[in-house]
Structure 1
Amino acid sequence: MVSDAYPPIEAYGVVGNLETCALVGPDGSIDWFPFPHLESPSIVAAVLDAERGGRFRIAPTGSFETDRRYVDDTNVLETTFRTDGGTATLTDFLPPADRTDHPKKVLYRKLACADGGVDLAIEFEPQFDYGRAAATIDRVDGGILADGEDERTLLEFPAAADLEIRDGGDAAPSRVTGTLSLEAGEVAWFLLRCTGAEDANTDPDAALDETVQFWTGWAHDCGPEADCVFAGPWHDAIVRSELVLKLLTHAESGGIAAAPTTSLPEDIGGVRNWDYRFNWLRDAGFTVQALMNLGTADEATDYFDWFMDLCQVDDPASIQPLYGLHGDSDLEERELDHFEGYRGSSPVRIGNGAADQRQHDTFGELLLAVDEMRRHGRELDADEWDRIRAIVDYVSEIWTDPDAGIWEVRGGDRRFVFSKAMCWAALDRGLAIATDGDHDAPAEAWQATRERIRADALENGYDADLGAFVQSYGSTALDATALLLPIVGFLPFEDDRVQGTIEAIDDRLVDDGDGIFVQRYDGDDGLPGEEGAFVLCSCWLIDALALSGRLEEARARFETLLSYLNPLGLIAEELDSESGAHLGNFPQAFSHVGIVNSALYLGYARGLETPGPAPMGIRLGEPIPGDD
Structure 2
Amino acid sequence: MQYKRLDEYGAIGDRNAIALVGRDGSIDWCPFPHVESPSVFAALLDADRGGHFAVRPAQSFDSVQRYRDRTNVLETTFQSAGGSATVTDFMPVDDATGSTDLPPAVYRKLDCETGPLELEVAFEPRFDYARDVPEIEPVADGVVAVGDDERAVLSSDVSLAPSADGREASGTVTLEPGETRWLVLGYDEAIPLEPSKHRETLEGVVDYWREWTHDCDETDCPVGGPWHDLAIRSSLVLKLLLHGDTGAVCAAPTTSLPEDLGGVRNWDYRFNWIRDAAFTVRALSELGHLEEARSYFQLCLDHCRHHDPGSVPPVYGLHGGSDLDERILDHLEGYRESAPVRIGNAARKQHQLDVYGELILAIYESVRYGEAVTTDDWAVMCDLIDYVCEGWDEPDAGIWEMRTDHEQFVYSKLMCWTALDRGIDLAEAADDVDAPLERWRTCRAEVREAILDRGFSERTTSFVRSFGDDDTLDAANLLVSVVGFLPPDDHRVQGTIDATLARLATDDGLVRRYEGNDGLPGTGSPFVVSSLWLVTALALSGRTDEAADRFESILEYASPLGLLAEAVDPETGEQRGNYPQAYSHIGLINGALSLADADDSIDGPPASPAPLGRDESIADVAADQEIVRRQTDTK
TM-score by length of 2: 0.93
Check 1:619–1:218 CA distance in 2 against 1; reply closer, same or farther (3 A cut): closer
Aligned residues: 608
Does 1:8 find its partner at 2:21?
no
Given candidates 73, 77, 97, the residue that maps to 1:76 is 73
How far, CA to CA, are the matches of 2:518 and 2:418 in structure 1? 25
How far, CA to CA, are the matches of 2:351 and 2:252 in structure 1? 22
- Shift of the alpha carbon at 1:619? 5.0
Match of residue 207 from structure 1: 201
Match of residue 611 from structure 2: 615
- Shift of the alpha carbon at 1:133? 2.1
Does 1:24 find its partner at 2:21?
yes
SS in 1 for 2:96: coil
How far, CA to CA, are the matches of 2:184 and 2:24 in structure 1? 18
SS in 2 for 1:155: strand
Instruction: Letter of the 1:36 partner, please give it.
Output: P
Instruction: Letter of the 2:466 partner, please give it.
Output: S
- Aligned residues of 2:152 and 2:189 also touching (Cα < 8 A): no
- Aligned residues of 2:58 and 2:118 also touching (Cα < 8 A): yes
The one-character-per-residue Cα deviations of 1:243-296 (angstroms, maximum 9, x if unpaired) are 000000111100010000000110111100000000100110011010000110
Check 1:620–1:218 CA distance in 2 against 1; reply closer, same or farther (3 A cut): closer
* Two-structure CA RMSD over aligned residues (Å): 1.9
Match of residue 463 from structure 1: 457
Match of residue 392 from structure 1: 385
How far, CA to CA, are the matches of 2:495 and 2:103 in structure 1? 52
Match of residue 535 from structure 1: 528
Match of residue 624 from structure 1: none
How far, CA to CA, are the matches of 1:280 and 1:351 in structure 2? 13
- Shift of the alpha carbon at 1:329? 1.5
Instruction: Letter of the 2:233 partner, please give it.
Output: R
Structure 2 counterparts to residues 577-592 of structure 1, below 5 A: 577-592=570-585
How far, CA to CA, are the matches of 1:385 and 1:197 in structure 2? 48
How far, CA to CA, are the matches of 1:253 and 1:608 in structure 2? 39
Match of residue 269 from structure 2: 276
How far, CA to CA, are the matches of 2:582 and 2:220 in structure 1? 26
Check 1:200–1:445 CA distance in 2 against 1; reply closer, same or farther (3 A cut): farther
% identical aligned pairs: 51
Does 1:485 find its partner at 2:484?
no
How far, CA to CA, are the matches of 1:210 and 1:381 in structure 2? 36
How far, CA to CA, are the matches of 2:183 and 2:592 in structure 1? 39
Given candidates 23, 26, 41, the residue that maps to 1:44 is 41
Instruction: Letter of the 2:454 partner, please give it.
Output: N
Structure 2 counterparts to residues 149-228 of structure 1, below 5 A: 149-158=148-157, 161-168=158-165, 174-198=167-191, 203-223=197-217, 226-228=219-221
- Aligned residues of 2:274 and 2:314 also touching (Cα < 8 A): yes
SS in 2 for 1:7: coil
Given candidates 421, 425, 438, the residue that maps to 1:428 is 421
- Aligned residues of 2:488 and 2:609 also touching (Cα < 8 A): no
- Shift of the alpha carbon at 1:377? 2.0
Match of residue 53 from structure 2: 56
- Shift of the alpha carbon at 1:223? 2.6
How far, CA to CA, are the matches of 1:37 and 1:200 in structure 2? 24
Check 1:200–1:113 CA distance in 2 against 1; reply closer, same or farther (3 A cut): closer
SS in 1 for 2:223: coil
Match of residue 625 from structure 1: none
How far, CA to CA, are the matches of 1:167 and 1:271 in structure 2? 38
How far, CA to CA, are the matches of 1:350 and 1:376 in structure 2? 37
- Aligned residues of 1:94 and 1:104 also touching (Cα < 8 A): no
- Aligned residues of 1:420 and 1:453 also touching (Cα < 8 A): yes
Match of residue 383 from structure 1: 376
SS in 2 for 1:120: strand
- Shift of the alpha carbon at 1:135? 1.7
Instruction: Letter of the 2:105 partner, please give it.
Output: V
Instruction: Letter of the 1:454 partner, please give it.
Output: R
Instruction: Letter of the 1:431 partner, please give it.
Output: I
- Shift of the alpha carbon at 1:142? 3.4
Given candidates 398, 411, 419, the residue that maps to 2:412 is 419
Match of residue 324 from structure 2: 331
- Shift of the alpha carbon at 1:55? 0.2
How far, CA to CA, are the matches of 2:574 and 2:429 in structure 1? 47
How far, CA to CA, are the matches of 1:319 and 1:255 in structure 2? 16
SS in 1 for 2:600: coil
The one-character-per-residue Cα deviations of 1:79-138 (angstroms, maximum 9, x if unpaired) are 000001100000000011343246352210010000122111111111001011252211
SS in 2 for 1:533: coil
Check 1:471–1:573 CA distance in 2 against 1; reply closer, same or farther (3 A cut): same
- Shift of the alpha carbon at 1:358? 0.3
Structure 2 counterparts to residues 101-120 of structure 1, below 5 A: 101=98, 103=102, 105-120=104-119
SS in 2 for 1:192: strand
Match of residue 144 from structure 2: 145
Match of residue 629 from structure 2: none
Check 1:201–1:101 CA distance in 2 against 1; reply closer, same or farther (3 A cut): farther
How far, CA to CA, are the matches of 2:284 and 2:480 in structure 1? 22
How far, CA to CA, are the matches of 2:460 and 2:615 in structure 1? 28
Instruction: Letter of the 1:396 partner, please give it.
Output: C
SS in 2 for 1:606: helix
